[in-house]
Amino acid sequence: MKSVFRIGFALVSVLFAACSGGADKNAETIAPQSQVQNIQYQILNIFPHDTTTFTEGLEWHDSVMYESGGEQGRSSLAAFNPKDGKTIRKIKLDPTYFGEGITVMGDRLYQMTWKDHAFFVYHFPDLTLIKVGSWPHEGWGMTNDGQRLIAGDGSDKLYFIDPATITETGHLSVTDESGPVDQLNELEYVDGKIYANRWHTNLIYRIDAHTGKVDGRIDLGDLFKQVGITYQPGNDEFVLNGIAYDKESKTFIVTGKQWPKMFEIRLL
């Protein structure tokens, strides 16, 4: 998910649990499903992207792109015009922080950090820092369903978070036909589904936000050719990581860490 130094993940348990609708922490076993749809896509537009940004979070709002960049010493939060790549505003995080997922809900933008447990809350859209909270897990991707924040920590778990208190209110365990799915990175919530980059793969997983079951996958491996990057499974940090959704056009904008391009795509 992160820099080349991020190695070693805890083995997932053979038992995994999901709360009912994410409302509480009482667990129930979910059996993996047998079929997952292979989702095709069409490229509509190609936009420029800052190759210095180690993309960890991507959000599209009112024709402005918001992006969280990672790595210690150069983590940031930026707003820019996606059509020409021109920066509107950029905030550099303290060098001790490793910036991670972001999401916008109402008049707030939320940003996680990796192992620092810091959780930033900004006023949106001017990005004035309101407060710094704390989160007990690692911070990876983040999105929201309009009421709750939804965040991952590199495991098969997706956590529901009260945005007012930054406390966990429930969780999902994500599964596909092979069992638990971990290393879920950048997230985007759309119409009851959570779309997730899976670190060190060229896949986006579509997850049912109520059950945690993966019901679709999008293979974006062909995009590597268009950005001139050779994909090396498990050994390359220039990976896909960035999913934004345009509600008006019902299209996605995707990119990768330090990629020179972003792609507007429509799912078929």
pLDDT digits (tens, 9 = 90+) for 188-206: 999 999 999 999 899 999 9
As given in the structure block, the two tokens for residue 139 are: 């911070």
Which CATH number goes with the domain that contains 64?
2.130.10.10
* Tokens 């793969």, located at residue: 201
Q: Is residue 16 part of a domain?
A: no
d(C-alpha 66, C-alpha 78), whole Å: 6
* Residue 19 within a domain: no
As a whole number of angstroms, the distance between CA 76 and CA 69 comes to 5
- Per-residue model confidence (pLDDT) at position 232: 61
The tokens of 167 are what?
């406390």
**How many domains in the chain?**
1
Q: What is the DSSP string of 13-38?
A: PS--EE-GGGSS---EE-PPPS--EE
* Cβ neighbours of 213 (radius 10 Å): 21
Phi first, then psi, for residue 20 (nearest 5°) are -75, 105
| Structural domain contains residue 205 | yes
Please report whether residue 143 resides in a domain: yes
pLDDT classification of 237: cutoffs 50, 70, 90: confident
Amino acid at 131: K
- 229 lies in some domain: yes
pLDDT at 215 over 80: yes
Residue 107: how many other CB atoms lie within 10 Å: 11
Each residue's pLDDT tens digit, 53-89: 999 999 999 999 999 999 989 999 999 999 999 999 9
Domain containing 135: what range? Answer: 33-267
Q: Residue 9: what pLDDT?
A: 37
In a domain, 50, yes or no: yes
Burial class (CB in 10 A: 0-12, 13-18, 19+), 230: exposed
- At 59 the three-state DSSP class reads strand
Cα(142)–Cα(86) distance, rounded to whole angstroms? 25
Strands (E), 93-154: 99-105, 108-113, 118-123, 128-134, 142-144, 149-152
- CA angle at residue 67 from 79 to 212, to 5 degrees? 140
Domain membership flag for residue 14: no
Task: Please check whether residue 66 lies inside any domain of the structure.
Answer: yes
Judge whether residue 12 has pLDDT over 70.
no
The answer to whether 134 touches 118, Cβ cutoff 8 Å, is yes
- Cβ proximity of 133 and 164 under 8 Å: no
